Each structure stands twice: as C-alpha cells, then as structure tokens.
Structure 1
C-alpha cells in the first residue's frame, strides 16, 4: 500500500503556523478589506491635486503608506491560508480576491508617481520646508524620481496597472497545475515499499543511497512532466511575454534591464555573475569528477547529483534537534538573535510538515506589524535543517528591518534578500565543521558545503543564464516551445556539468518544474547573495562583535539605499567580481580538502 500524504485537518496544531497573529478570523480580514476600499475612495479624490500643496502631498503619501501596510497584511493572510492547502476552494477564492484588489489598488494609485514627477524639484523642496512631516518621504520621493524615464503618464499608468491581474495568469495557472492537478506515480523505496512521488519527496529520494531508488524517482518524476511539456511551454511563454510587454511599455532596452532596475541594480551585475561563473566552470567540473570518484561509478548521471558523496554517514535530523543545533550555531550573532530564533520556533511562526495540497518547497513571508511566517516541508534530513536555518535568516532580516524602519522603508530589495538566509547556512556549516572530530563526518560536511556551492552559485547561475536566453529569444521575435526550451536547457546543463556527467534525456525537462522562472529574474540573486554571505560569515567568525554589529546594521536598513550600497555596510562590494571570485576560490580549496580526506 502506497504511503499517502495526510490531509490538512490531520496535521498537529503545534506543527502549523498561527495565522490568528495576523487576524483573529476571516471576519476581521473582511473588515480590513472594507477599510482598504474606503481608503482607496479617499485617495482617489486627490487625483490631479497631489502637488497642489504640501498638505495634499503629505496626505496622499500617508494614505498610500497605510494602503500598502494594510494590503500587505491582508494579502499575507490569504496567501498563507492558500499555501497550507491549495486545494481548499475557499482559500483559493480569497487569494484570487487579493490579486484582484492588488490590480485595483495599482490602478487607483497610478496617478501618484506621475504627478510627483511632474512637480518641479524646487516646488517639492519648498514643500519639505513648509511641512516637516514630509521629511519621512524624502527617500521615497527620490526613488520615484530615479524611475522618471520609465514612468508613464497618469492615464497610461492606470492602463498598465489594469493589466496586472491578467499578467498574473501564467504564474497562477502554473502554480495550480503543478501543485494541485499534477500527480506522480508510486515507486518502491529502499525498503521495497511503494511511496507516491511528490514535489516534496522528489529531492529526498534523489538523496537516497540506493541508486535504483534515485533512478526510478528521476525517470518517473520527469516522465510525468514529459506528458505536459507543450502545456508548460505555453504557460512559460505567456509569462515571459507579459514581462516583456511591461518592459517595452516602460521604455527599457530589455526585460532584464527592467527587472533589475526595479531593485536599483545594474544589468552589469547580472552579466558579471554569468561571465565570472562561466570562467570558473572548471571548479564545477572538478566537483563532478570528485563526485564520480567518491561514488565509484563508471558513469555519473544527473540522478546521482544529490546523494551524498560520502556513504553511510547520513543520519536523520529530527526537527527538534535541528532547532537546538541552529540556535547553538548562530549564537555568534548574539543573545538577542538567539532569543528571536527561539521565539519563532516556540510560538508557531512555522508550518513544518508536508500535507496534501500544501505548497512545495520552503519560504519566509510576512507583513509589517506581525512576525514573519515560514513554510517548510520538513523530512528529517540534514538539508532540511539547513533549509530551516536559511528561512529563519529571511525571517530575522524581516524582523530587524520591520523593527527599525517605518513601513515605507522596511521592505528590503530582493537583491539582498538571500544574504541573511545564506549567511545563516554558512555559519551553521562552519559550526558543524568546527565541532566535528570524525574524519568521515567531516568529509560528509565538506561534501554538503560543496553541494551548497553547486546548488546555489552554479545551479542558480545556470538558471539565470537559461532565463536570460529565453527572454532574449522572445525579444528577438521567437516563440518559446517545448522543443527549443528542452534543447536550450540541456545544452546549458551539459556545459555547466562538463564531460564527466551524463546529461540524461530527462534533465532537458527540468525547466518545467522550476517555479522561480515565474519570479522574473530572481534566481541570480541567490548566487550573488551566496558569495556575499561567504564573505560576511568569514568576517563574523574572524572579527566577532565589530562584524556582527555591521551585519545587524545591514539587516536593519530595509530599503533606505540602493542594495549594492547597503551591502557595503556589511563589508561586501558586489560592483566588482571580487566576492564571486573569492567564493569560487574557496570552493576550489574545499574540493582539494575533501579530495585529501577521501
């Protein structure tokens, strides 16, 4: 009998997040939506009058901030409910309502930025002198002015805002199809018992020491995707096209430029990453060769990439043990940091285990005025412990930023979003290595370190290169289809993993299972953030309190400056390739260290 997932109502309450910390119940959420609608009517009266006076400008910006704060909370409530069971039709409807409201808010507020831009700088400076409370919004106004060349007339902004709900359709279809409609066959596990494949179980099965299990999981999982490649290609094609539409409307040279400029990052940072990683593919090739040697196989296949290179060391890591170890490892960040970790673990910030209909993967999310929330699909592995530390890094970044900054500056840019999470992972790994006395266990941990480099720097850059190329194809007038997407993905995969890896036919379908391709040039930031985190963790461990103080200042800075500038507070300059080169050089050293141990 195959092991089925439990339904949501069978999950222990203590293993779920407590959404009543946002709203007591749905009625309170409905009341918030009513308040938002009232504020929308209030702000709409200022259309054409934003800069008539300092008082008008202040009122509009105040209401805008209130709308943003209230919407974020209401949106997060609906999305957390939806993600805990995406088959729940009531929660589906709540989620859809929020996307509809998001589009309505965007359309209603579309006059604000154009009117601020149309107001002469001297007049706005006069408003600052006339109304001291406007000083709060100086950075926000500066950011609006930065995007002047890409901001449209008030009428056009309203039209573009009206397309947002429609523009969300590809990602909504992808999420529903992948997380709810798609089902996978059962395979036999190491104990010859049937287990139904799921997104949450796929990678743990690829980590199995039993090669037959890995091969069966790989072929059966991707075999299911193969059936729907034409559908997946059409969905992704629609996703890319809607982003390119927005980029062209806003007079950007490319969607890449539009996407990174939203975070005040230069496209050169993206291109620099891809170029630097491509120049260091020898490190990944050396990793693949070492993996082939450690596994003792004549041919290394893509289904061999997740299983530990060091056999018979892996052991289950129960969630309770993971919490304790994470707190010990991150003690270098101070008692206040550890106290917050414990608060999150003990007071139901986290939805821990997989259940039927639950969104796959892991994330940290939340809104101003409440604590962060974390979604996990914990399966008692070392990787799951690292994932927990990773997501808690996000949560701590949000906590420090929300505590220190007013709402309008609390939301740090996506470009720096992965720094704190990855720094936590590296500090955890360095702690485990420092306290390890067994040679084989140390080799196992070094293997994990290398897997982090492989998965976060190389794999995410591989995704970034694929995403950049697919966008360029559409921008050149080419339609994306299952054939050209599979061909491109496999070619890039072969280049990255090198001659010692068999790029199995099934790996050509992997693009169809990557949800981050619907995040519009998000993945490159995993790689840049990892390299920044390597540098920050190194400083924390070598310098102690001075580096910790700089790091916490960075965590508390929100979006008060360009993200590249904020990283400089913590001691990292990503305007140069130096952090990437240094991180990859460290990977080379770890490869050599592990090679000596095995």
Structure 2
C-alpha cells in the first residue's frame, strides 16, 4: 500500500470536490456576510411576532438561515479535516462557529415565546395559515419541551455561552488530531517508521507479538503524557453536560440526552443489562483467542491480531467498491444505481495523508450531496469501513431526496442502522464467495471482531458514560484517578479474567473522542442489533422487508426513531433485538471454535 505524504500525490478521482458547495473561499465569505445580515433581520422578530403571518415569516427566515449556515459550517469543517494543521482552515471554522453562536443568540427568544402561546391558539394559527402546516409537527412537538425551556433572558445567556461550553471538546479535538505524535516504531524488517493511527491499526494486527507490543506502547505513550490535561477536558465536558441538564430541569444528563428522540431510559438500561448477562460470551472468545495464539497470557495488544494466518490480502479501493456493490444486491436496483454513481462524482475522499482527520465519516449536505471521509488502507478493514460509510451516505441521499428540509436529517439514533446493514450483507457475501476453508474461518473471525468492536465495546463505553455522569451528578470527584478506576473495572468485567491488564489499559478512556458527545455510543450497539434483524430478512429474500427498509431510508426524521424502526419490525423497547444479536454472536463463536 502506498503512503501519501501530500494531497498533491493523490489521484483527483479519490479526492472531494468542495466546489460543489462553494466555488472558492471568496464565495464562502460572501455567504458569511449574507448570514450576518440575515441574523440581524431575524433578531428584529424578538418581541415582534404578533400573529400567524409574523410567525410564518419568522419560521421561513429561520429555515433559510439554517440552510445557509449549514453550507458555511460544512465547507469550513470539510476543508479543515483534510489537514487539521492548516491555520487558514482553522480560521474558517472559527468564523463559522462564531456565526453559529450569533444565530443561537438571535433566535434564543423564540422557544420561550412559542411556549407562551396556548396550544389551542397555535392550532388555530396553523389551521388559518396554510404555510404553517409545513412546520406543524415541529411546532406542536415543542410543547414536550415546555418544562425544559428557560426564560427568554436565560436562554440568551446560555446561547452566548455556547462557544465556551464546547471548549473542552474543541481542545481535545486539537490535541487528538493535530498535536499528538506517536513517534517511531520498528518494523519486523528492522526499519523504523512513523506511527500514525492508520499504521497503528495495521501493526496491532501484526503476527509478530513484539511489533504489536511496541506499537501498542508507542500509541498510548502520548495519551499517558497528556493524561492530566485530557482528564481535565473530559471532566469539564461531563460537568458542563450535567450542569446544563440541571438548568433545564431534567432528572439526569442521560434523560436529557434521550428526551429529544423520545427514547425511554429503559432502552439504554436494557441494552447494558442484557449485554452484561451475556458478557460470558466475550470472556469465552478471549479464551479461544488465547488458545489459538498459543499464549501463556493474553494482553490487550493480542486482541486484534488475526487468528487465521496467511490469508490477508490487499484489496484496492476500486476492487473494494466493486465487491461492496455485489454484496449489497439484496437492497435492490435503485440503491445500487445511485451508490455506483457516488464514486465517479467524487463524493469520497479516500486516502490518509499527514494531518488529515483520523477515522471515517459521512456528512450529508442538504441541497448538495453526501461527503464521505475515509483513510483507506487497501485491506479488509477498509472494505468494511467503505461499506459502512456508504450506508450512511445512501441514508443521507435518500432522506434528503424524499423529505423536505425540515425532516430531511435523520437522527443519530437511527444512523448506525443503515451502515451496519451494509456490513452484515457484506460479511455474508464474502462468506458465500469464499472457496477456501481458511478464508472462511478468517472472515468469521473478522465478523466476530467487528461484532465485539461495534457492540460489546460500545456498550462498555455507554456504561462508562452512565457511571461517570452519575458520579458528577452526585458531586463525586471526576479526575484522572476516577476515570482510570471506572474504566479499568469495566474493561476487566467485559473481557474476563483471562486478559492480563497492562498499565495502559486503564487510560483507554483518554483516546475516545465520542465521550465528548454524551450518550452517543450506545446508538452504535442498538443500531447494530437492529441491523442484524433487518439484514437477516433481506438475506432471506423478504421483499416486504426490502420495501419497508427502503421506506425507512427515505424517512429522515419524519417520525420518532423508535417508531421508524418499528415499521421495519424492530422493537428496541424489548430485549429481543439485543438477545437476537447476541445469539448470532454465540453462533459465530461456536462455528469458529469448532474449526
């Protein structure tokens, strides 16, 4: 696999075309100036909405500002993610963030105003003014938040504090993406190479245990060096979230996070409890791993190495895209035709370069198209990541095409369903196509590891968030020692006594950016469980499921997420989807252990 040192080395076909949003920075700046004026215009509605017409005019202007601001922010963000060290891009993002604060401040009066109108009066406004019907669901839904909206003045103060409250997350982001350097590691051939996140994901799978150990130690070293600073950013982030939850009269930070999606706390607790009852499956897998690797003791740097040797092969980006297209055939011709066009239209930024944001994501931009960021490494993991992110991209594409702006963006709760359905379809395709017994065994092992990472690990993270937020709510100290104690205890509970814990294990929390988006990670696990149920029916050729799943992808946020999933036959208020997923993990483990 080629390592790229600059974006100039990468083929144009494998890079985003951000001119689809703005032709140049000058046009972006014009849009910023336009927004400044629109923000002044909308601010004049403060205290001046007197009837249904005024209300409609305000809402139309608000949506116009939201649409324009989304383009401004996304352009700055995407530019910056290509090289997080670039100060020009950082200044664009700073300006966009400041505009966001101004918009929040200018519109902060609206929710207190809206909730001061009696429901029957608002209903009469909607009935007599046709344009208001477009906003009806959101307007009426606002009454759910009545107990959690503060006075006009208080809302304005909170909106002004927006940038300061997001500081812990931004600080961690700069540390994690721009400042942290992992140093050099020695490869098996004796050569030294700079360790990147992408390189780490390869070396932690290396068959040479000393290479894995050195990469593991080098990867954690900067996090240990910055442990107190990172503990401070995470502690501040959690305390900010707890304080906001109290100010808004929520019983807890968890309930605040669940409220918007209308998800009962039982769904979150059921996920953790059902998984913990079955965590013995993960203990058993680690015992199988220790046995297959013929180790006297199992360490954390042994948890990613492939258990089936000599079957790794290089899969180019073009080949990966072709395999993905074949694997997703159960989703139908419409899906495949649109997905095939994304590659040639340059919706994907493919390669890892110095300073580029780590990981992968999809960002759907209403009125433009999805943008997918990858750090592709021409291997099996990268093939799965491609299928995963293109699931998100197709979800964005369909929802934006079939929904009006107000309901075009799906909630994070359902986001992981579309991505994981693609991964499940891919693994089944690869298993069916594999003629070689070792390759099949390797694929089963790969899916078990995917299952572990997307389900078990995320449930463990979700429990870590729940415990640390509850500690903050009780006024208990949240510092380096507290984070280490909670994380190490959970890691041991989930992985079992067979795993010998290195000193670095307890610092695992320090490298997880998702902890700065409170109560987000559990959605990976619920999405994974939902996807398994949906994918199994698609693989059985269930035409009704293909139709209902297609409708789900086109639904955006037109209904609450649990209701959207119920239309596909998945009910997350019950333990069954979680149990069904865990049952599949057991079957995979049984198959693998037998071979």
For this structure pair, what is the TM-score category when the shorter chain's length is used for normalisation? over 0.9
Is contact 1:29-1:74 (8 Å) kept?
yes
The equivalent residue for 2:193 is 195
- 2:159 aligned with 1:166, yes or no? no
Is contact 1:11-1:355 (8 Å) kept?
no
- 2:173 aligned with 1:183, yes or no? no
Q: In structure 1, how many angstroms separate the alpha carbons of the residues matched to 2:554 and 2:143?
A: 24
Q: Could you report, residue by residue, the CA deviation over 1:80-137 in whole angstroms, capped at 9, with x for unpaired residues?
A: 0000001110100111111111111111111112211111111111112211111111
From 563, 566, 569, give the equivalent of 1:568. Answer: 566
The equivalent residue for 2:425 is 427
Q: In structure 2, how many angstroms separate the alpha carbons of the residues matched to 1:341 and 1:98?
A: 31
Q: In structure 2, how many angstroms separate the alpha carbons of the residues matched to 1:88 and 1:546?
A: 49
* TM-score where L is the length of structure 1: 0.97
Is contact 1:285-1:497 (8 Å) kept?
yes
Is contact 2:448-2:585 (8 Å) kept?
yes
Q: In structure 1, how many angstroms separate the alpha carbons of the residues matched to 2:296 and 2:419?
A: 37
Q: In structure 1, how many angstroms separate the alpha carbons of the residues matched to 2:477 and 2:378?
A: 42
The equivalent residue for 1:39 is 38
Unmatched runs of 5 consecutive residues or more in structure 2: none
From 71, 88, 92, give the equivalent of 1:94. Answer: 92
Superposition map of 1:7-156 within 5 A? 7-50=6-49, 52-156=50-154
Q: In structure 1, how many angstroms separate the alpha carbons of the residues matched to 2:242 and 2:95?
A: 25
How far has the Cα of 1:247 moved from its partner?
Answer: 0.8
From 576, 579, 584, give the equivalent of 2:577. Answer: 579
Q: Could you report, residue by residue, the CA deviation over 1:66-92 in whole angstroms, capped at 9, with x for unpaired residues?
A: 111111111111000000001110100
Q: In structure 2, how many angstroms separate the alpha carbons of the residues matched to 1:316 and 1:502?
A: 32
Superposition map of 1:476-515 within 5 A? 476-515=474-513
How far has the Cα of 1:263 moved from its partner?
Answer: 2.5
Q: Could you report, residue by residue, the CA deviation over 1:565-587 in whole angstroms, capped at 9, with x for unpaired residues?
A: 11111211101111001100111
Q: Secondary structure at the match of 1:378?
A: coil
How far has the Cα of 1:313 moved from its partner?
Answer: 1.1
Q: In structure 2, how many angstroms separate the alpha carbons of the residues matched to 1:110 and 1:285?
A: 50
Q: Could you report, residue by residue, the CA deviation over 1:511-531 in whole angstroms, capped at 9, with x for unpaired residues?
A: 111111111111000000000
Is contact 2:465-2:515 (8 Å) kept?
yes
Worse-superposed segment, 275-284 or 138-147: 138-147
From 388, 412, 415, give the equivalent of 2:413. Answer: 415
Superposition map of 1:242-321 within 5 A? 242-321=240-319
Is contact 2:311-2:438 (8 Å) kept?
yes
Aligned pair count reads: 594
How far has the Cα of 1:190 moved from its partner?
Answer: 2.9
Q: In structure 1, how many angstroms separate the alpha carbons of the residues matched to 2:230 and 2:82?
A: 24
**C-alpha RMSD over aligned residues:** 1.3
The equivalent residue for 2:323 is 325
Q: Could you report, residue by residue, the CA deviation over 1:24-43 in whole angstroms, capped at 9, with x for unpaired residues?
A: 11111112112222222222
Worse-superposed segment, 499-508 or 161-170: 499-508
From 521, 531, 534, give the equivalent of 2:532. Answer: 534
The equivalent residue for 2:237 is 239
Is contact 2:330-2:541 (8 Å) kept?
no
Is contact 2:4-2:10 (8 Å) kept?
no
The equivalent residue for 2:547 is 549
Q: In structure 2, how many angstroms separate the alpha carbons of the residues matched to 1:471 and 1:385?
A: 36
* TM-score where L is the length of structure 2: 0.98
Q: In structure 2, how many angstroms separate the alpha carbons of the residues matched to 1:454 and 1:161?
A: 39
Q: In structure 2, how many angstroms separate the alpha carbons of the residues matched to 1:264 and 1:71?
A: 27
How far has the Cα of 1:545 moved from its partner?
Answer: 2.6
How far has the Cα of 1:543 moved from its partner?
Answer: 3.5
Worse-superposed segment, 388-397 or 335-344: 335-344
The equivalent residue for 1:471 is 469
Q: Secondary structure at the match of 2:372?
A: strand
Is contact 1:76-1:366 (8 Å) kept?
no
Is contact 1:111-1:155 (8 Å) kept?
yes
How far has the Cα of 1:5 moved from its partner?
Answer: 5.9
Unmatched runs of 5 consecutive residues or more in structure 1: none
How far has the Cα of 1:467 moved from its partner?
Answer: 1.2
Q: Could you report, residue by residue, the CA deviation over 1:377-416 in whole angstroms, capped at 9, with x for unpaired residues?
A: 1111201110011010111111110001111111111111
Q: Secondary structure at the match of 2:45?
A: coil
Is contact 2:39-2:102 (8 Å) kept?
no
Q: In structure 1, how many angstroms separate the alpha carbons of the residues matched to 2:344 and 2:302?
A: 37
Worse-superposed segment, 394-403 or 147-156: 147-156
The equivalent residue for 2:383 is 385
Is contact 1:69-1:367 (8 Å) kept?
no
Q: Could you report, residue by residue, the CA deviation over 1:532-557 in whole angstroms, capped at 9, with x for unpaired residues?
A: 00001011111433211100111111
Q: Secondary structure at the match of 2:563?
A: helix
Is contact 1:8-1:85 (8 Å) kept?
no
Q: In structure 2, how many angstroms separate the alpha carbons of the residues matched to 1:255 and 1:200?
A: 34
Is contact 2:238-2:472 (8 Å) kept?
yes
Q: In structure 1, how many angstroms separate the alpha carbons of the residues matched to 2:134 and 2:54?
A: 15
Q: Secondary structure at the match of 2:60?
A: helix
Q: In structure 2, how many angstroms separate the alpha carbons of the residues matched to 1:574 and 1:131?
A: 38
Is contact 1:4-1:196 (8 Å) kept?
no
Is contact 1:73-1:366 (8 Å) kept?
no
Worse-superposed segment, 226-235 or 141-150: 141-150
- 2:194 aligned with 1:208, yes or no? no
Q: Could you report, residue by residue, the CA deviation over 1:200-252 in whole angstroms, capped at 9, with x for unpaired residues?
A: 22222111122111111011211221111011101111111111121111011
Is contact 1:277-1:461 (8 Å) kept?
yes
Q: Could you report, residue by residue, the CA deviation over 1:423-479 in whole angstroms, capped at 9, with x for unpaired residues?
A: 111111111112222211111111111112111110001111111111111111123
Superposition map of 1:311-390 within 5 A? 311-390=309-388
The equivalent residue for 1:400 is 398
How far has the Cα of 1:4 moved from its partner?
Answer: 8.1
Q: In structure 2, how many angstroms separate the alpha carbons of the residues matched to 1:357 and 1:561?
A: 39
